[in-house]
Amino acid sequence: MLGRSSLSRSGSFRPENLGQNALAMIGNLCFTLFVLGVLIFTIIAATYQPEDPLFHPSTKITNFLVSTSNATFQSDNTVTRTGEDFMASNQTVFADFLNITDVSVPAIASTIAECEGDFDKPIDCTDPDIFHLMMTYAIEQFKDIHFYRFGKPVPGSNTSTCDMAWRFRPKEGKTAAFYKDYRRFVITRNDNCNFTVTGVGEYHTGVNARKRKKNQKGFEKNRQKKAETTAASLPVFGEDVNDTLPVVESEGSFSRGKYLIYSGGGDRCKSMNQYLWSFLCALGEAQYLNRTLVMDLTLCLSSIYASSNQDEEGKDFRFYFDFEHLKESASVLDQNQFWDDWSKWQKKDKLNLHLVEDFRVTPMKLSEVKDSLIMRKFGSVEPDNYWYRVCEGETESVIQRPWHLIWKSKRLMDIVSEIASKMNWDFDSVHVERGEKAKNTQLWPNLATDTSPESLISSLRDKIEDGRNLYIATNEPDTSFFDPLKDKYTTHFLDDYKVLWDENSEWYAETTKLNGGNPVEFDGYMRVSVDTEVFLRGKKQIETFNDLTSDCKDGINTCRAST
């Protein structure tokens, strides 16, 4: 046996067998490397947490979220850009603004006898001459805005006041939007019987000229033509907000409908950028399938925006975004209302549910589904449970995210408008980022020095004229830090206007009502949203990393990567 074994082993090393043996060894080695590679990949996939919450973002989201004009504010813990930010400001050129020469000169009484006995009569706000007088005064008084339309004056609080509304844009406005204001004018009759405007109130004082929208009832299925029309519209800030929830009026209309709902997933409590990127994937799929999106109006505010430094549940979509615009432009329903209706009519009308538990099932494969409800259910393993994964791969070229449907909350934008109006829309702005970055001298070695009051005065000397209104958007908690700038500029900060969201404000009253009678905190995301938007309305805008310091926004040696 030993002899045969030795012969067998020696035979395997014969010259004619070497090629076969080499191939076998190479095959075994390749198989070993393959198994090792699979093992390493599995370990990485199970433990890897991407730095960017948008795992492997496409070029579309990169181009959308990166701004060249607003670079200072672009990061996950600041405000995300929405649809109205990408409308070209020249979309409003169709509306010619009004000049003083477009207003007729009021008639002048030729003799005292013409108005004898009229001195004690109330001012007739419907008189065309009064209307022209008020328009003339407004155009002359507010020189930094373009007037596009005036509303008819109505009686004010007493016999010598009239309220009038108008629609306008700041002359140097960089956003495609209209603003609405309504003010109270004080009008007196002179000894020569002519009228004079002797004063005008603050922003939104002419409350009797405020046009209130009627509550909308019923539910309208989305139509492509309607969506296209709304896409071309422009936001108007300063009008009443009607963001009541849409409802289905009858069993028949509900049972004939087709619905899509996303359930679960790991997007919750992530940054607002990720929330919108995922939500708009769902909305885009619903539009592609011609279905109503059943949406959860309650959000989880990420800890990066919360004063408690903890994730906070129970926030309302309407606190941050314009639900009125969304519901008028797309087919959406609140999920609480939907499930109430579903439980009432599902068995009776034989409504079926089609469950999808794999994000790799594309919308194209669901286009022929006849069931009333398609539910995408997402698991607990991140990042495969992110909603936006549905829109990756081949779907990316098919599903178009409807960015034009998401605008910022008009309630927040009204605060922006009022702050800008209190500065007569005639101000410059500077963003000063300090905080933790200024303390980290390894990544930002010059930031603390470059944003000191002395350096700011030097940097702004050739950029902003002395005496100007200067709005300072900053994360520096103690605004007295900037007191040395008061010798050269009239400085303004966000907290100078906190009366606009305190317990006596309109914002507070409306959000409390939305929140079931519970007060709403003006949270970190709201603060930075308003702060950013006011900054963007400055005539000149000075940014931290573009203009004040040579440090890179994301730390040393990252400037090229940040642009």
Give the DSSP H/E element, type plus range, for residue 301.
strand 298-301
The pLDDT of residue 81? 82
Q: Decide: residue 504, CB within 10 A, 0-12 exposed, 13-18 middle, 19+ buried.
A: exposed
CA distance 535 to 546: 15
In angstroms, what CA-CA distances link 40 with 35, 46, 440? 9, 10, 35
Last residue of a domain, one of 186, 209, 232: 209
> Does residue 169 sit in the same domain as residue 305?
no
Token reading at 256:
């004939």
> Does residue 427 sit in the same domain as residue 389?
no
In angstroms, what CA-CA distances link 171 with 98, 146, 182, 538? 12, 6, 18, 11
Last residue of a domain, one of 405, 428, 462: 405
Where on the phi/psi map is residue 196: left (φ > 0), alpha (ψ -120 to 50), or beta?
A: beta
Does 314 map to a domain?
yes
Structural domain count, the chain: 3
Report the CATH number at residue 349: 3.40.50
Tell me the three state secondary structure of residue 205: coil
C-alpha closest to that of 115 among 124, 104, 125, 103: 124
The pLDDT of residue 235? 86
Does 560 map to a domain?
no
* Secondary-structure percent of the chain, ordered helix, strand, coil, rounded to 5: 40, 15, 40
Largest CA distance in the chain: 145
Q: What number of other Cβ atoms are within 10 A of residue 184's Cβ?
A: 21
The pLDDT of residue 117? 56
> Does residue 428 sit in the same domain as residue 393?
no
In angstroms, what CA-CA distances link 259 with 246, 265, 351? 14, 19, 11
> Does residue 372 sit in the same domain as residue 449?
no
> Does residue 345 sit in the same domain as residue 456?
no
The pLDDT of residue 58? 42
CA distance 62 to 279: 17
CA distance 531 to 525: 10
Tell me the three state secondary structure of residue 539: coil
Phi, psi of 338 (to 5 degrees): -60, -50
Tell me the three state secondary structure of residue 217: coil
Beta-bridge mates of residue 150: 166
Give the DSSP H/E element, type plus range, for residue 225.
helix 224-231
C-alpha closest to that of 226 among 325, 318, 294, 372: 325
> Does residue 395 sit in the same domain as residue 420?
no
The pLDDT of residue 16? 55
The pLDDT of residue 324? 95
Q: Decide: residue 450, CB within 10 A, 0-12 exposed, 13-18 middle, 19+ buried.
A: buried
Domain that holds residue 367: 242-405
Beta-bridge mates of residue 403: none
In angstroms, what CA-CA distances link 426 with 59, 96, 142, 183, 494? 37, 21, 10, 19, 16
Does 459 map to a domain?
yes
Where on the phi/psi map is residue 489: left (φ > 0), alpha (ψ -120 to 50), or beta?
A: beta
On the CB side of 504, CA atoms within 13 Å amount to: 3
> Does residue 351 sit in the same domain as residue 473?
no
Token reading at 318:
């309407």
Instruction: Name 413's Cβ contacts closer than 8 Å, sequence gap at least 6.
Output: 235, 237, 533
CB 544 within 8 A of CB 535: no
> Does residue 266 sit in the same domain as residue 389?
yes
* The amino acid at 124: D
CA distance 495 to 526: 13
> Does residue 366 sit in the same domain as residue 509?
no
Token reading at 202:
């603050």
The three-point CA angle 59-86-312 to 5° equals: 80
Quick check: bond before 155 cis, omega within 30? no
CA distance 7 to 373: 73
DSSP state of 544: I
Successive 10-residue mean pLDDT values, the chain, 563 residues = 44 54 68 66 46 38 38 50 73 57 59 58 90 94 92 94 95 84 93 87 94 50 38 77 89 94 96 96 98 97 93 97 95 96 94 97 97 97 96 94 94 96 96 93 95 96 96 94 97 97 96 96 95 95 94 88 48
Does 72 map to a domain?
no
Tell me the three state secondary structure of residue 154: strand
> Does residue 343 sit in the same domain as residue 437?
no
pTM of structure: 0.81
Q: Is beta strand 161-170 parallel, antiparallel or unpaired with respect to 195-200?
A: unpaired
* The amino acid at 425: W
With b for 16 or more beta-carbon neighbours within 10 A and e for fewer, the 164-183 pattern comes to bbbbbbbeebebbbbbbbbb
What torsion, rounded to 10 degrees, do the Cα atoms 118, 121, 122, 126 define?
A: -40
Last residue of a domain, one of 366, 389, 405: 405
Q: What number of other Cβ atoms are within 10 A of residue 346's Cβ?
A: 17
> Does residue 397 sit in the same domain as residue 294?
yes
> Does residue 377 sit in the same domain as residue 501?
no
